[in-house]
Structure 1
Amino acid sequence: MAIHRVNTDDYPAQLQRKAERLREAFSAYTDLRPEVFPSPPEHYRLRAEFKVWQEGGRAHYAMYRQGEYKKPFIIDEFTVGSELINQLMPKVLNAVNESETLRKRLFSAEFLTTLSGDALITLIYHKKLDDEWEAEARALQAKLGFPILGRSRKQKIVLERDYVTEQLPIGDKSYRYKQVEGSFTQPNGDICRAMIGWAKDVCKDSAGDLLELYCGNGNFTIPLCEHFDKVLATEVSKVSVNSAQENIRANGVTNLDIVRLSSEEFTQAIDKVRPFRRLKEIDLDSYDFSTVLVDPPRAGLDKDTCAMVARFPRILYISCNPETQLENLQELSKTHRVERFALFDQFPYTDHTESGLLLVRK
């Protein structure tokens, strides 16, 4: 049996190497050293997905190296996962192994937790889920005190709810978020708080209005609203837009509108290339945009979106892939200079780095 542990003693040195690599990579555009935001060395992941390895009539949590899907690593403990994930893992597995109905053809288990102590467990099967499964799952749900969700092909059984509720304290305020299973949320809660706090500090003396692209469930949008007169945000995922609308109401925000558009579509809309029915209630000409916030997927900004954001006086660019951020910076540096530079260590003990830039028009 394997236990997934990390050597926390090495973490400061690993993080320093990341910071040096990032500084060197961006050295052609700034002399600044990145502001470094470290992760907790353990229990930092709020969500985890495990394959379920079935052997000898017993289920085990397992992980695989990429490309080696017939060589499972059995997981008894997952110290990078939140403390709540580690508390729930053995309870769920014991219940599964005590019930043939819950164990049979189970191939994956997912845990979604929050810093504020909420959790959702998703069990995924290679079989149709029936009334017997639902009865067993409800019994497990009552025992755990957290909701269970069942999935199989073309099936999703929600016994109570398919989301968790997060409460993030940032500075002297606290923000409430609905986070739906299967939609994107920041996996490292402490780094999420650091990213929002840094963005708020960057924007604390702002004037005018904010445009945000790729806003998700309003993770950055809602806390930043207090620093701007009006905020317009876009997101292509319908689930995330619906969550964002609920989060707006939960946080009492009144100066924010969210529309379901891709960044490419919004670029066409603001350039008046074509109208969009989803913008019929939005008067784009009424906004006085001073700042644009972008947090794109790993591919970075497409050419047209990059050209569009270059028209803004200030660009706040959060990136999960500094390589594509650098590619965009080749163009953006023609009109803007780097004023703030940050490293967010979302995934310790890996080569993955997330970065933040504040770009100000020259």
Structure 2
Amino acid sequence: MSVPFDPASYSQQLADKATRLRELLAPFDAPEPQLFESPQAHYRLRAEFRLWREDNQRFYAMFAPGNNHTPILIDDFPIASQRINDLMPLLRARWEASATLNFKLFQVDFLTTLAGDAIITLCYHRPLNDVWQVAAEKLSAELNVSVIGRSKGKRIVIGRDYAVEKLQVAGRTFTYQQPEGSFTQPNGAVNQKMLNWAYDALGQRDDDLLELYCGNGNFTLPLATRVRNVLATEISKTSVAAALNNLDDNGVSNVKLVRLSAEELTEALNDVRPFRRLAGIDLKSYEFGSIFVDPPRAGMDPDTCELARRFERILYISCNPETLAANITQLHDSHRIERCALFDQFPYTPHMESGVLLVRRT
């Protein structure tokens, strides 16, 4: 359940989240969490709107959870980036002036970056043709954005199908391709804080790092500069392709990336079965001292938790503090929490991102 957008209450909302995290981690003698605030407005870099027709006009709309019949019509969206808010009325004026852009348009998605890049995705209940493409090319030029048209079985790209992000970590700028339609961190300012915290928490090592759930390489790029070698895994083909491009674009050459799930890599490391996707990679040549995990909301499965137990250091970013606590319960007899943090990726909601560094007990 979301709470009202009310910047005046932001400090109290963050304090309430910190209390909740402390309570969840109290059984493990966790230190006081570092708190990383979000901007109180214009922090969300992505937004997805359905379009709602009233009086022959289309409006941006959202719906409350469980209610697809009563739209909330939106003129501006203060939690979204300033770029999204600037683009919303400009795009609406252009679809109102163009029957080609307007006809059977039912959804609009925005993807922006701290670096100023933007993609607008237009979704249609009709085939897209050359006439639409000409109109979309004009739209792209006028708004200085990439435009992607989607209809059943078709995708037309005007410009690029990824947005370019630039993030500062420990004084270095890392450049990221963020593909349209794939996962990226929604709150860029807080993501940058997460990256710097993880970079500092890992420290400079003289051994190797195993990373599970690496996505487009969001954490991989800065963490690779802290270790000798990285073996990273990701199951999404789109994310793997983006991560490989990002490694190349940033000149990071000490990472091997394999398209395996965390569960499959656990099987490979346990010699349960071989995988063709690991051909040419000598797992036994790695001297892993640390594991970095950023799992989905379900957390790590028990077998992956047991795999993590082998490592001296477990650096864990979580989008669900309840499953984080459940995983730490399994690891607590062998590892203690040395550092923890709360990253307020999702202001005005109960969701929180958290991080812990677990170190093997001596």
Q: What is the TM-score of this pair, normalised by structure 2? A: 0.97
Single out whichever of 208-217 and 25-34 deviates more from structure 2: 25-34
Q: What's the counterpart of residue 176 of structure 2?
A: 177
Q: What's the counterpart of residue 189 of structure 2?
A: 190
* Alpha-carbon distance, 1:136 to partner: 1.2
How many residue pairs align between the two structures? Answer: 358
Report the 3-state secondary structure (helix = DSSP H, G, I; strand = E; otherwise coil) of the residue aligned with 2:225.
helix
The percentage of aligned residue pairs carrying the same residue is 52
Residue 160 (str. 1) matches residue 159 (str. 2)? yes
Give the letter for the 2:130 counterpart: D
* Alpha-carbon distance, 1:135 to partner: 1.4
Is this contact kept in 1: 2:34–2:342, CA < 8 A? Answer: yes
- Whole-Å separation in 2 of the counterparts to 1:295 and 1:179: 17
* Alpha-carbon distance, 1:304 to partner: 1.0
Report the 3-state secondary structure (helix = DSSP H, G, I; strand = E; otherwise coil) of the residue aligned with 1:133.
helix
* Alpha-carbon distance, 1:193 to partner: 0.4
Q: What's the counterpart of residue 49 of structure 1?
A: 48
- Whole-Å separation in 1 of the counterparts to 2:237 and 2:314: 25
Spell out the pairing of 1:251-266 with structure 2 (5 A cutoff): 251-266=250-265
Question: C-alpha root-mean-square deviation of aligned residues, in Å?
Answer: 1.0
Q: What's the counterpart of residue 351 of structure 1?
A: 350
Residue 64 (str. 1) matches residue 69 (str. 2)? no
* Alpha-carbon distance, 1:325 to partner: 0.9
Spell out the pairing of 1:31-46 with structure 2 (5 A cutoff): 31-46=30-45
Is this contact kept in 1: 2:30–2:337, CA < 8 A? Answer: no
* Alpha-carbon distance, 1:57 to partner: 1.8
Single out whichever of 199-208 and 281-290 deviates more from structure 2: 199-208
* Alpha-carbon distance, 1:67 to partner: 1.3
Q: What is the TM-score of this pair, normalised by structure 1? A: 0.97
- Whole-Å separation in 2 of the counterparts to 1:132 and 1:256: 44
- Whole-Å separation in 2 of the counterparts to 1:104 and 1:57: 12
CA 31–210 in structure 1, closer or farther in 2 if over 3 Å, else same: closer
Q: What's the counterpart of residue 310 of structure 1?
A: 309
Spell out the pairing of 1:75-86 with structure 2 (5 A cutoff): 75-86=74-85
Per-residue CA shift, 1:115-151, capped at 9, x if unaligned?
0100000001111111221111111111111110000
- Whole-Å separation in 2 of the counterparts to 1:271 and 1:166: 37
- Whole-Å separation in 2 of the counterparts to 1:42 and 1:206: 37
Report the 3-state secondary structure (helix = DSSP H, G, I; strand = E; otherwise coil) of the residue aligned with 1:77.
coil
- Whole-Å separation in 1 of the counterparts to 2:9 and 2:85: 22
- Whole-Å separation in 2 of the counterparts to 1:276 and 1:221: 23
Q: What's the counterpart of residue 335 of structure 2?
A: 336
* Alpha-carbon distance, 1:207 to partner: 2.9
* Alpha-carbon distance, 1:205 to partner: 3.3
* Alpha-carbon distance, 1:107 to partner: 1.0
- Whole-Å separation in 1 of the counterparts to 2:22 and 2:125: 47
Give the letter for the 1:50 counterpart: F
Is this contact kept in 1: 2:44–2:80, CA < 8 A? Answer: yes
Residue 108 (str. 1) matches residue 107 (str. 2)? yes
Report the 3-state secondary structure (helix = DSSP H, G, I; strand = E; otherwise coil) of the residue aligned with 2:27.
coil
Per-residue CA shift, 1:187-206, capped at 9, x if unaligned?
00011101100000001233
* Alpha-carbon distance, 1:247 to partner: 0.5
Report the 3-state secondary structure (helix = DSSP H, G, I; strand = E; otherwise coil) of the residue aligned with 1:28.
helix
Structure 1 unaligned segments of length 5 or more: list them: none
* Alpha-carbon distance, 1:159 to partner: 1.8
- Whole-Å separation in 1 of the counterparts to 2:72 and 2:97: 22
Q: What's the counterpart of residue 235 of structure 2?
A: 236
- Whole-Å separation in 2 of the counterparts to 1:167 and 1:67: 36
Give the letter for the 2:211 counterpart: E
* Alpha-carbon distance, 1:31 to partner: 4.0
Spell out the pairing of 1:124-135 with structure 2 (5 A cutoff): 124-135=123-134
* Alpha-carbon distance, 1:25 to partner: 1.4
- Whole-Å separation in 2 of the counterparts to 1:30 and 1:76: 47
- Whole-Å separation in 1 of the counterparts to 2:343 and 2:158: 36
Larger RCO: 1 or 2 (CA < 8 Å, sep 6+):
2
Per-residue CA shift, 1:176-235, capped at 9, x if unaligned?
000000111100001110110000000123331000000001100110111101111000
- Whole-Å separation in 2 of the counterparts to 1:309 and 1:336: 10
* Alpha-carbon distance, 1:56 to partner: 2.0
